[in-house]
A and B are shown apart, each in its own frame.
Chain A
Amino acid sequence: QVQLQESGPGLVKPSQTLSLTCTVSGGSISSGSYYWSWIRQPAGKGLEWIGRIYTSGSTNYNPSLKSRVTISIDTSKNQFSLKLSSVTAADTAVYFCARTDRGSNFDSWGKGTLVTVSS
């Protein structure tokens, strides 16, 4: 069974770049027709889809974040990554990575990692 694990700094200063990596285990990130997504959730609030990447490197981003987001994939390491630039306190959230079946169904999730934006 595939497992996902987010990693990266838990504290980022305002105006800097948030960087997270999701490591996939229990299966190849290149197998099947899966996309790989990032989703975030501010404390006590709802879920916001950030974007997705296919194994080919093709990406789709949420327009609300598009100017600041980059998602990349490293199939040799079985990982995909998120970079979010020019962060503010509004970017403080739990960040989840998720396998995305049929491009749209988040069927396996990491446990999530809390990223706090503060000086």
Chain B
Amino acid sequence: DVQMTQSPSSLSASVGDRVTITCQASQDINNYLNWYQQKPGKAPNLLIYDASNLKTGVPSRFSGSGSGTDFTFTISSLQPEDIATYFCQQYENLPFTFGPGTNVDIK
């Protein structure tokens, strides 16, 4: 299985701050990476697919980049409604695997 790691595991930032999360795959996954947002008690919500493509309707403050084994997810200006856990997911190989998640909180 492709192992996914994320850092940091949690972060606290102020409203308006730029927030960056990294995701690393245990092998080359090209750009076959998605990012999800999960708010407490809710199902995850797909934000970005193919590492850098924003899903329709997702605010433009969210972005993703990377290829191969190293990926980055960025919130350009953190908003109160962005409090959530963010997961990366690879789909280069079955089984699909997820990162452990990054909890984002407001300072």
Interface residues of A (CB under 8 A from B): 46-49, 60-64, 96, 98, 103-107, 109-112
Contacts and interface: CB of A to CB of B under 8 A. Distances in A.
Contacts of A110: 43
Given A62-B95, A105-B91, A46 B101 contact: yes
A65 to B, nearest CB: 9
- In the complex, the 7 A-B pairs of residues with the closest C-beta atoms, listed nearest first: A104-B91, A109-B43, A62-B95, A49-B96, A47-B98, A46-B100, A105-B49
Contacts of B95: 49, 60-64
A105 B34 CA distance: 7
B55 A107 contact: yes
B44 A47 contact: yes
Interface of B is mostly: loop
A46 B100 CA distance: 5
B19 interface: no
Query: Size class of B's contact patch?
Result: 20 to 34
Contacts, number: 48
Nearest to B36: A106
Interface of B: 1, 32, 34, 36, 42-46, 49, 55, 87, 89, 91, 94-101
Contacts of A60: 94-95
A107 B58 CA distance: 12
B69 to A, nearest CB: 18
B97 to A, nearest CB: 7
Contacts of B101: 46
Nearest to A49: B96
Given A46-B99, A49-B98, A60-B95, 14 more contacts: A46-B87, A46-B100, A47-B87, A48-B98, A60-B94, A98-B43, A104-B91, A104-B96, A105-B46, A105-B49, A106-B89, A109-B43, A111-B42, A111-B43
